[in-house]
Amino acid sequence: MVFAAALGMALSSAAAQELEKVDVELCLAVDGSGSIQEDEFRFQRQAYAAALTHPDVLDIIASGYRGAIAVALMEWGGAESMNPIVGWTRISNQQEAEGFAGAILEAPRKAWGWNSISNAIAFCQAWMAENAFFGERLVIDVSGDAGQRGGIPLAVARQDALDAGVVVNALALNYRSGGMTGPGGTPLIEHFRNDVIVGTGAFALEVNQPEEFINALVRKLILEIARLQEAPRKQG
């Protein structure tokens, strides 16, 4: 038994050595559900592209120990609509960031249905586990304009993420038609803080006007990339 455990640890360590090391693995989980109107959908895509190429974000990436992060973007809708949009990509400089941003803008819309935040968290966690990177920190970044609806229970998704050492942060989009709410009429930001985010240093921000969106994304990315915290590393 001792030999088997030691062998398993050795194999896990060897597998990790084959992965490309980065400071952070960041999965951007973007709301593409039915509550997102077409003009808002295009605006979101443009905002993510602008934020990821922002000089302040690039400076934070460059200041990291390895000077590189791994990023992927998916859009979620109903429980059966979890959609990779841009796959796992190394970003360490402006050229790589612009390539990722261009891919965001060019990809077609895929999500349909309503608001399974829990399945989005589970999807991102599984996607991280199978990528080609080894991040010192693992972060899922959820944005949405409405609360959880459908899929696995949020509590299960959060606990699974916590057990895997994944931090889940959130961005509440309150600007559409005065903002939507969480279950039982709970303000969206409270729903995100109480039911969605998890992990050491996890946080949720809110956007109350469309013109605040890009600045909020830039702030959020800076916090996620620069945050100094210890988390269990991915195995294998």
Q: Where are the domains of the chain?
A: 20-226
**What's the pLDDT score for residue 179?**
56
Cα–Cα distance, 35 to 179 (Å, whole number): 11
Question: Contact at 8 Å (CB) between 145 and 35?
Answer: yes
Least Cα distance to 80 among 40, 118, 128 occurs for: 118
Q: What are phi and psi of 86, to 5 degrees?
A: -130, 125
pLDDT at 234: 47
Token pair, residue 137, equals: 């920190």
Q: Is the pLDDT of residue 227 over 80?
A: no
Confidence class for position 113, pLDDT limits 50, 70, 90: confident
pLDDT of residue 40: 83
What integer pLDDT is reported at residue 112 of this predicted model? 83
- Residue 209: per-residue pLDDT: 86
Counting every residue, how long is the chain? 236
Please give the Cα distance from 160 to 144 (Å, whole number): 21
pLDDT digits (tens, 9 = 90+) for 141-172: 999 988 898 999 999 999 999 999 999 999 99
Strands 69-76 and 166-173: unpaired
> Which two three-digit tokens encode residue 135?
């991040």
Instruction: Look over the chain and give the mean of its residue pLDDT values, rounded to a whole number.
Output: 87
User: Mean pLDDT lowest for which of 11-25, 94-108, 192-206?
Assistant: 11-25
pLDDT value of position 28: 98
* pLDDT value of residue 10: 34
Average pLDDT of the segment spanning 15-29: 88
CB 180 within 8 A of CB 145: yes
Q: Classify strands 82-91 and 69-76 as parallel, antiparallel or unpaired.
A: antiparallel
For residue 129, the model assigns a pLDDT of 96
Q: What is the mean pLDDT of residues 184-193?
A: 88
Estimate the crossing angle of helix 154-163 against helix 117-129, to 10 degrees.
20
Q: Note whether 182 and 188 are within 8 A (CB).
A: yes
- Percent of the chain scored above 90 by pLDDT? 68
Model confidence at 2, pLDDT cuts 50, 70, 90, reads: very low
pTM: 0.87
Burial of 165 from C-beta contacts in 10 A (0-12 / 13-18 / 19+): middle
Query: Is the pLDDT confidence value at 54 over 60?
Result: yes
Q: Which of 54, 53, 87, 50 shows the shortest CA–CA distance to 71? A: 87
Instruction: Please state which CATH class domain 20-226 belongs to.
Output: alpha beta
